[in-house]
Structure 1
Amino acid sequence: MRLIATAAALAAAALAAGPSVAAERLTGEAKLAKMLEGRVAGEPRSCINTFTNRESTVIDETAVVYGRGRTIWVNRTANPDDLNRWDALLVRQHGPQLCRQDIVTTFDPSTGMYTGNVFLTDFVPYTRAD
């Protein structure tokens, strides 16, 4: 009987915490804004060097961010609603640069299943302000 009461109390606590936790979850735009705090946008470019910008972060329904450190590159893509942070990116690029015409396919890394395509646009550099 004590076990049932404890389980019921834990379930009630979880239900009570659910909405507040969900309310704290940031939207894609809010996550991107947080990443860009203290940075200044530069001139958009059609290509970026992938040797120095290997890391990428997919922000739900918003953008793909490349690089880290002083300058990061934001690509809002032609179809940002199709971006899902759980998807992995498979990039088919021609040479050492990633360009807006390169083909990017998304897939679920846990199953390997194809989930869609991403159509890149210009890359906007955001550099930390001094």
Structure 2
Amino acid sequence: MRQTFLIPALLASAVPVAPAIAAPRPSPEAQLEKLLAGRTAGQPVSCINPRISSETQVIDHTAIVYGSGRTIYVQRPGNARALSSDDVLVTRLSGTDQLCDVDVVHLHDRSGGWWHGFVTLNRFVPYTRTRVAAGN
């Protein structure tokens, strides 16, 4: 009797199960677009306060977003292809107390622990959340 129960159990375990299909990850541009939804771009600026950089988000191969709250700053650096959300961004300020478009950001791999390049900063574009009219 034991064999009759064992055979169906073995057959059941041999039936292939369809792997769970993960939802496709949005493209980097789509991720940035979602982050900027409901915000309006302002005039680019050369420097920002480095204290807001404690809230920094890297969009793979595309941009660095500094800050949070009503206004955020989008940095589309030179050599953005080197950017990865697994990077630790290491920046030395160039003689001022501001993070400026003349500064260089060095990339340090978070998991492997090695340096793997840098990006050069351009002007920062502020994006401000649009105010919703009362009653809407």
TM-score normalised by structure 2 residue count: 0.81
Q: What are the residue-to-residue correspondences of 1:36-115 with 2, within 5 Å?
A: 36-93=36-93, 94-115=95-116
- Which structure has greater helix proportion? 1
Runs of 4+ in 1 over 3 A off after TM superposition: 1-9
Q: 1:3 to 1:56 in 2, by over 3 A?
A: farther
Shift of the 122–4 alpha-carbon distance from structure 1 to 2, 3 Å rule, reads farther
1:54 Cα deviation from its structure 2 partner? 2.2
Identical aligned residues as a percent: 47
Between 69-78 and 106-115, report the one with greater CA deviation. Answer: 106-115
Query: Distance between the aligned counterparts of 1:97 and 1:4, measured in 2?
Result: 67
Give the Å deviation of 1:99.
0.5
| Offset, 1:104 | 0.7
Determine if the alignment matches structure 1 residue 13 to structure 2 residue 18: yes
The amino acid of 1:80's aligned partner reads A
Single out whichever of 61-70 and 104-113 deviates more from structure 2. Answer: 104-113
Rg: which structure is higher? 2
TM-score of the aligned structures, taking structure 1 as reference length: 0.84
**What SS does the corresponding residue of 2:31 show, helix, strand or coil?**
helix
Q: Which runs of 5+ in 2 are unaligned?
A: 1-6, 132-136
Which residue number in structure 2 is paired with residue 129 of structure 1?
130
